[in-house]
Amino acid sequence: MRRALLYGDVVFYLGVYVYCLWHHRPGGQYVTGMALATVGYTLWFTARAQLGEAFSFRAEARELVTTGLYSRFRNPIYVFSTLGMFGLCAAMGWYKFGGVYILLVAITQWRRSKAEAAALEAKFGDRYREYRARTWF
């Protein structure tokens, strides 16, 4: 059950991606959007894999991951999943849905990132503050 919950979002986004591939639209906007989605989702999946057992839906400080994409970004899962969905919305011309989705996700992820930062700082202290100073987002 836990594994299904951990990868439910991956299955959902892959499903939307495959839908967009099957229902493609002609033109450069589609190609550009799908290229953004491909890059975004590839980096998102990579970030999920690099986080490993430290991944959770709640703000927990299991370990401080500072390698791979996490050596440059504090929240690569948030950044690249949003980029992927933005690309799909652009490719398919889902402007209204895309705008609402990006706004809601940005608010949710901002709140989650603040809670995660507080949990990590409480557990790792100076080590987390040094990490935070040298990374983006």
In a domain, 103, yes or no: yes
- What pLDDT score does 39 carry? 97
Question: 136: how many CB neighbours lie within 10 A of its CB?
Answer: 9
Nearest-angstrom CA–CA distance, 64 and 41: 23
List beta partners, residue 136. 73
- 136 Cβ contact list (under 8 Å, min separation 6): 72, 73, 74
Nearest-angstrom CA–CA distance, 132 and 39: 24
- 30 Cβ contact list (under 8 Å, min separation 6): 24, 91, 92
In a domain, 21, yes or no: no
In a domain, 24, yes or no: no
In a domain, 11, yes or no: no
**CA triple 110-83-21, angle to 5 deg:** 140
In a domain, 59, yes or no: yes
Q: What is the pLDDT of residues 69-112, one digit of tens each?
A: 999 999 999 999 999 999 999 999 999 999 998 899 989 999 99
Q: What percent of the chain has pLDDT over 90?
A: 60
Residue 58 or residue 111, greater confidence: 111
For 28, how many CA atoms within 13 A lie in the half-sphere containing its CB?
A: 0
- What pLDDT score does 74 carry? 92
Average pLDDT of the chain is: 88
Q: How sure is the predictor about 27, in pLDDT bands with cuts at 50, 70 and 90?
A: very high
Whether 10 shows a pLDDT value over 90: the answer reads no
In a domain, 8, yes or no: no
- What pLDDT score does 95 carry? 92
Total number of domains constituting the chain: 1
pTM: 0.84
In a domain, 106, yes or no: yes
In a domain, 85, yes or no: yes
Q: Which domain holds residue 111?
A: 29-133
Whether 13 shows a pLDDT value over 90: the answer reads no
- What pLDDT score does 56 carry? 64
Q: What is the pLDDT of residues 128-137, one digit of tens each?
A: 999 999 998 8
